[in-house]
């Protein structure tokens, strides 16, 4: 269909050994200043990546403590108070410092300008500021933990948080507030960038679905985050000045807090998962060597989720005293919001149908994403039914549900992204063997950890309990879960080793090791140049045109497409518009 293929200066193809480009963003300066004062979106992404990875493991440490405590029915390892502080720290660190910024701040930052053909984000200095604000927030969080922590849960429910909790609530709130600001800055940046900085010819419907996912996410960020910011400020105001807003003893209304909180925090779950869905679209398309099926449906389903996702928050409040009529409406809309998510799943499977499937590491993560997201989503629909939720609310069933979507889906997608774009970011390949091994261990460990929690939750185990000696027969499920979490920990820890190893000893990846479509692969070197492209690209093709050969392809570990074997990638070197 398309035989006009122009070459990019440093394309390596065929059997030729791949070489590192001479100049790229990583060697554009080595001193600390060139990193800490950089406005290059790629370097800022790396800065984010480092901090985020660190906090992922900090959060994991707290999770380990929780799981250890629950091995036995009696509360023996930790005291009740310490246990409260541990699960709060786990939730707050994982959500505010890891999951919310995870994909947007690292891969979004790195890839959006590359994918749309821009030199940088629209506001590079704002981007750097957002990293600093995030860093400040993380320092505050660490301070809180070192001082002894908070015991309100990541949800800060009032009046517990305003009148009864005795940890460092206000400091935690300040930290969460800053974390929120950092993501608002990122959101504003993405919106302006995606609207205004697309390369000539990069129409909305030629954008990679990944970019659509980030666009929807950014809208949610700017619409939702400020509301939780004010909710948290009000908590601080009530706690410090004793001005009644939420505490009934002061004339306040505790349900009001839950409304404000969930108005953000339900959409926030889509902040966590929508970028991940974008990643999955890219990976599935690439490793099925097929155009993503139903492009427009996936694009619009992201937007639908962004909109409708704002109207379902009441499903967290069925038993809070919210009116049953409101509950009915929220329940109905919650069922509706499952539809766009399902559309995506169907389209991914349809993409794979009759595709040429390569089971490289990112693809394995993507496949486990699909499976785990289905379980997470469907249990969400179970919880959306008011009658069922009376029984299931605040049990481990809910815990299992949201871990399936937040870890099983969002974190898995994050790992898929790490493995898919690692060669682009670092210019090196990691060990495919260990990559696959980690992906499979993660999948097994994850299910071992969280499937039992559905059961024990259904049996009645409440969340946030450190002692279940009233029902010692549940121990088997908890023990299984803790065992699974050990496996999971191995799966998460492995990449740290082989990815770090690959930085020095990994094979040179070359421009396009997966033979993937997309500007970031076809037009930019690995690692990309400081201003991304040598020549600013012009786009005249749909996304995922896997029926035409990918440019800049570097053969790697058997990942070639049938097409590119028949048409040597750089044979037709005509400069042609």
Partner 1 sequence: MHHHVIPLKVYLTIFGSLLFLTIATVGVSYMPTVPIVHLIGALIIAAIKTTLIVMFFMHVRYNSHLIWSFASLGFFFVLLFMVFMMGDYISQYYSLTPATHAVPFDKF
Partner 2 sequence: MSLATPTVDTHATGHHHPEVRHQFDDLEQQHDSYSLGMWAFVVQEVMFFSGMIVCYFIFRYKYPEAFIAGSNHLNLPLSTFNTVVLLSSSLTMALAVHAAQLGHKMRLLQFLMATLILGSIFLGVKVYEYKDKYDHNLIPGYNFKWETESTTTEHGEATDEPESLNPALKMPPLAQQVEVFYGLYFILTGAHAIHMVIGAVIILIIMVLAWYDHFSPNYYVPIEMFGLYWHFVDIVWVFLFPLLYLVDRAAAGGH
Residues forming contacts to ligand HEM in the complex (CB under 6 A) are: 155, 269, 272-273, 315-316, 334, 337-338, 341, 377, 380-381, 383-384, 389, 392-393, 398, 401-402, 405-406, 410
Nearest in space to 112 (alpha carbons), one of 208, 200, 33:
208
How many residues sit in the footprint of partner 1 (CB under 8 A)? 19
* 405, 480 Cβ separation under 8 angstroms: no
Task: State which of positions 164-223 bind partner 1 (CB under 8 A).
Answer: 195, 219, 223
Distance CA 478, CA 491 (A): 20
Choose the contact partner of 256 out of partner 2, ligand HEM, Cu ion, none; CB within 5 to 8 A by kind. partner 2
Considering only 85, 239, 259, 266, the residue that binds Cu ion (CB under 5 A) is 266
DSSP 8-class letter at 95: I
Name the segment binding partner 1 (CB under 8 A); options: 321-329, 354-362, 437-445, 493-501: 321-329
Count Cβ atoms below 10 Å from residue 507 Cβ, excluding itself.
Answer: 17
Give 202 or 337: the residue with its C-beta nearer to ligand HEM.
337
Residue whose tokens read 């099983």: 408
Nearest in space to 162 (alpha carbons), one of 83, 260, 233:
233
Choose the contact partner of 321 out of partner 1, ligand HEM, Cu ion, none; CB within 5 to 8 A by kind. partner 1
Q: Is 73 in the site for partner 2 (CB under 8 A)?
A: no
Distance CA 274, CA 412 (A): 13
Residue whose tokens read 């155009």: 291
- Residues 79, 82, 88, 92, Cα dihedral to 10°: -150
Residues forming beta bridges with residue 553, ordered by sequence position: 512
Give 61 or 339: the residue with its C-beta nearer to Cu ion.
339
Token pair recorded at residue 82: 């310490």
Rounded to the nearest angstrom, the gap between the alpha carbon of residue 12 and the centroid of all alpha carbons in its chain is 32
* 214, 104 Cβ separation under 8 angstroms: yes
Phi and psi torsions of 522, nearest 5°: -90, -25
Give 140 or 405: the residue with its C-beta nearer to ligand HEM.
405
Nearest in space to 301 (alpha carbons), one of 280, 317, 327:
280
Give 223 or 237: the residue with its C-beta nearer to partner 1.
223
Choose the contact partner of 377 out of partner 1, Cu ion, ligand HEM, none; CB within 5 to 8 A by kind. ligand HEM
* Nearest distance in Å: CB 46, partner 2: 18
Choose the contact partner of 323 out of partner 1, partner 2, Cu ion, none; CB within 5 to 8 A by kind. partner 1
Choose the contact partner of 523 out of partner 2, partner 1, ligand HEM, none; CB within 5 to 8 A by kind. partner 2
Q: Is 323 in the site for partner 1 (CB under 8 A)?
A: yes
Considering only 25, 156, 310, 468, the residue that binds partner 1 (CB under 8 A) is 310
Name the segment binding partner 1 (CB under 8 A); options: 65-73, 314-322, 483-491, 516-524: 314-322
Token pair recorded at residue 454: 């559905």
Q: Is 184 in the site for partner 2 (CB under 8 A)?
A: yes
Give 224 or 445: the residue with its C-beta nearer to Cu ion.
224
Token pair recorded at residue 233: 């400020």
* Nearest distance in Å: CB 266, Cu ion: 4
Token pair recorded at residue 63: 């999770």
Name the segment binding Cu ion (CB under 5 A); options: 80-88, 155-163, 260-268, 541-549: 260-268
Considering only 324, 387, 504, 577, the residue that binds partner 1 (CB under 8 A) is 324
Choose the contact partner of 402 out of partner 1, partner 2, ligand HEM, none; CB within 5 to 8 A by kind. ligand HEM
Considering only 329, 339, 536, 538, the residue that binds partner 1 (CB under 8 A) is 329
Round to the nearest angstrom and report the end-to-end CA distance of the chain. 15
| x/- map, 290-329, partner 2, by CB under 8 A | ----------------------------------------
Q: Is 322 in the site for partner 1 (CB under 8 A)?
A: yes
Give Dmax (Cα) for the chain: 78
Distance CA 98, CA 115 (A): 24
Give 93 or 308: the residue with its C-beta nearer to Cu ion.
308
Name the segment binding partner 2 (CB under 8 A); options: 341-349, 379-387, 396-404, 519-527: 519-527
Considering only 259, 316, 344, 403, the residue that binds partner 1 (CB under 8 A) is 259
Considering only 124, 355, 371, 460, the residue that binds partner 2 (CB under 8 A) is 124
- Rg value, the chain, Cα: 24
Token pair recorded at residue 208: 């990679």
Helix (H, G, I), strand (E, B) or coil at 525: coil
Q: Which residue minimizes CB distance to Cu ion?
A: 266
Give 308 or 418: the residue with its C-beta nearer to partner 1.
308
How many angstroms separate the Cα of 172 from the Cα of each of 146, 178, 186, 280, 373?
A: 12, 10, 21, 33, 31
DSSP for 281-293, written as a single string: HHHHHHHHTSPPT
* 88, 152 Cβ separation under 8 angstroms: yes
Give 118 or 441: the residue with its C-beta nearer to partner 2.
118
How many angstroms separate the Cα of 133 from the Cα of each of 24, 102, 292, 559?
A: 27, 15, 37, 41
DSSP strand E in 2-82: where? none
* Nearest distance in Å: CB 255, partner 1: 6
Distance CA 169, CA 236 (A): 8
Give 214 or 266: the residue with its C-beta nearer to Cu ion.
266
Summarize as ranges the residues that interact with partner 1 (CB under 8 A): 195, 219, 223, 227, 253, 255, 259, 263, 310-311, 314, 320-326, 329
Summarize as ranges the residues that interact with Cu ion (CB under 5 A): 266
């Amino acid at each position: 269909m398309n035989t006009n293929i122009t070459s990019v200066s440093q394309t390596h193809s065929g059997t030729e050994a791949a070489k590192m480009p001479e100049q790229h963003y990583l060697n554009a300066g080595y001193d600390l200043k060139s990193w800490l004062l950089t406005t290059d979106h790629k370097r800022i992404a790396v800065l984010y990546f480092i901090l985020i990875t660190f906090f992922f493991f900090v959060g994991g440490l707290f999770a380990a403590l929780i799981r250890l405590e629950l091995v036995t029915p009696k509360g023996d390892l930790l005291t009740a108070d310490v246990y409260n502080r541990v699960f709060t720290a786990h939730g707050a660190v994982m959500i505010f410092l890891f999951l919310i910024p995870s994909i947007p701040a690292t891969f979004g930052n790195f890839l959006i300008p590359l994918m749309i053909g821009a030199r940088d984000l629209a506001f590079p200095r704002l981007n750097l500021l957002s990293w600093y604000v995030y860093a400040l927030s993380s320092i505050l969080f660490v301070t809180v933990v070192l001082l002894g922590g908070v015991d309100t849960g990541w949800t800060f429910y009032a009046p517990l948080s305003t009148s009864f909790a005795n940890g460092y609530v206000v400091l935690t709130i300040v930290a969460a507030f800053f974390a929120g600001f950092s993501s608002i800055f990122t959101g504003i940046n993405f919106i302006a960038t995606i609207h205004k900085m697309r390369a000539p010819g990069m129409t909305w419907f030629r954008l990679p679905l990944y970019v659509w996912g980030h666009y929807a996410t950014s809208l949610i960020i700017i619409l939702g985050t400020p509301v939780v910011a004010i909710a948290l400020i009000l908590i601080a105001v009530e706690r410090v000045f004793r001005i009644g807003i939420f505490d009934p003893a002061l004339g306040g209304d505790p349900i009001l807090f839950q409304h404000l909180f969930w108005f953000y925090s339900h959409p926030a779950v889509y902040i966590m998962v929508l970028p991940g869905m974008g990643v999955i679209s890219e990976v599935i398309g690439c490793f099925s060597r097929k155009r993503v099926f139903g492009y427009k449906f996936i694009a619009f389903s992201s937007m639908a989720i962004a909109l409708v996702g704002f109207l379902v928050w009441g499903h967290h409040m069925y038993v809070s005293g919210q009116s049953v009529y409101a509950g009915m409406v929220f329940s109905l809309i919650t069922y509706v919001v499952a539809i766009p998510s399902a559309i995506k799943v169907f389209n991914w499977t349809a993409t794979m149908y009759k595709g040429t499937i390569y089971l490289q590491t990112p693809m394995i993560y993507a496949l486990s994403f699909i499976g785990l997201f289905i379980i997470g989503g469907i249990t969400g629909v179970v919880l959306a039914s008011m009658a069922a939720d009376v029984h299931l609310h605040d049990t481990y069933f809910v815990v299992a549900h949201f871990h399936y979507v937040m870890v099983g889906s969002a974190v898995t997608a994050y790992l898929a992204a790490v493995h898919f774009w690692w060669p682009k970011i670092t210019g090196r390949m990691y060990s495919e063997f260990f990559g696959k091994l980690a992906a499979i261990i993660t999948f097994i460990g994850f299910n071992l950890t969280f499937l039992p929690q559905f059961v024990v939750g259904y049996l009645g185990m409440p969340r946030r309990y450190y002692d279940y000696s009233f029902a010692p027969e549940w121990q088997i499920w908890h023990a299984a879960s803790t065992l699974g979490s050990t496996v999971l920990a191995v799966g998460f820890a492995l990449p740290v080793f082989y990815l770090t190893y690959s930085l020095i000893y990994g094979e040179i990846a070359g421009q396009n090791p997966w033979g993937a479509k997309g500007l970031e692969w076809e037009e930019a070197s690995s690692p990309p140049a400081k201003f991304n492209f040598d020549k600013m690209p012009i786009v005249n093709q749909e996304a995922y045109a896997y029926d035409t050969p990918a440019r800049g392809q570097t053969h790697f570990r058997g990942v070639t497409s049938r097409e590119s074997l028949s048409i040597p990638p750089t044979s037709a070197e005509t400069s042609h518009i």
